[in-house]
Amino acid sequence: MYTKVKYSNITMVKWTSIESFQFLLLALFPVILYEVFELKWLHLPWVPIALIGTAVAFVIGFQNNASYDRIWEARKIWGGIVNSSRSWGIMVNDFISNEYAEEKANEVELKEIKKELIYRHIAWMTSLRHTLRAPKPWENFLSFKSNRRWSRKIDIREFKYTLEEELEPYVSKTEFDYLLSKTNKATHSISLQSKQLKALKQRGLIDDFRHVVMEKALVEFYDMQGQSERIKNFPYPRHFATLNHNFVWIFLILIPFGIMYEFDLIGRNLMGEYPTIGKNFVWFSVPFSIIVSWVFHTMERIGKTGENPFEGTANDVPITTMSRAIEIDLREMLDEDPATIPNPHKAVFDTEM
């Protein structure tokens, strides 16, 4: 089961509840000093704060665009894997035959060869998705307490089962031991495919042209594997991420000191007609400071959640679900008994955190 969390206003409030409380403290502290303890000098002009806010908006926008590009590129890569995998299934089913063979293979042997090639491809996807789910030091989704609470709603298969458990059904014992002895299991799964294609060509079960076409398909799988690994192993530049985070918090700390004074000026203008409201109008700066802080911080945090599209969050590329869909398609191409084919992973939408 792969859980996706449906966004709503309530969900967003819960997701940012801890930070919202921090913004409340940041907004209250200067107003208490200014109004209760009468430290009237404790304020800052709004113009320089607004300039900082403009700069922060630019860096947050850059971060969000870069994060979205990483998610979209990852989605296109795995869309390519879906299409190429189906093409692989067609080639395996239709290219391998006795048409050019001097020593004919019986139907049972041909069916077993096709099954090996299809299952080994599923083993490649299994190895690849486990590699992409492996945690990296810069992946920071679980550094937020609210994210940890949210992640308990997300049922990620690669976190529940080991690669050994998931790989074993798709390859022989010899190949299983061979793959586990290698650092990059996905790379060597494709290598085994190429070796078998060479053996089939030598037997005449595929001709030269078909061999070239199928080898080209394997090269395409290598390309898409490399593209996925590039996104996984090269993070959003950390100096940008660190500076963005620091700039946002500098701005959040300064906001109350500027808004507070502006609201105090408005209150003074209201003293003549509405003395009670005018005297206490400075306190209305607290909710406005919270709103402005929440918007900027939430936008920055949304960008962070998209930096690593294979991390295993509710909003990344659902490679587990996509792999299962490919497996179902390929095994149906082999005309397997529907009772032996696994069911699709269901996307569960949940607003409760």
The predicted-structure confidence for 171-210, as pLDDT tens digits, reads as follows: 999 999 999 999 999 999 999 999 999 999 999 999 999 9
Rounded CA gap, 301 and 298, in Å?
Answer: 5
Q: Which of 136-140, 298-302, 335-339 has the lowest mean pLDDT?
A: 136-140
Look up residue 139 and give its amino acid. Answer: E
DSSP label at residue 36: I
Residue pair 221/124 in contact by the 8 Å Cβ criterion: yes
Structure confidence at residue 304 (pLDDT):
86
Distance of CA 269 to the CA centre of its chain: 51
168 phi, psi to nearest 5 deg: -55, -40
Output the six-digit token pair for 113. 């060869």
DSSP-derived 3-state class of residue 347: strand
Long-range Cβ contacts of 190-199 (<8 Å, 24+ apart): 190/124, 190/218, 190/221, 190/222, 190/225, 192/120, 193/117, 193/120, 193/121, 193/124, 193/218, 194/218, 196/113, 196/116, 196/117, 196/120
The predicted-structure confidence for 49-83, as pLDDT tens digits, reads as follows: 999 999 999 999 999 999 999 999 999 999 999 99
Rounded CA gap, 222 and 235, in Å?
Answer: 21
Question: Exposure of 165 by Cβ count < 10 A (0-12 exposed, 13-18 middle, 19+ buried)?
Answer: exposed
Rounded CA gap, 344 and 325, in Å?
Answer: 6
pTM of the model: 0.89
The predicted-structure confidence for 14-31, as pLDDT tens digits, reads as follows: 788 889 999 999 999 999
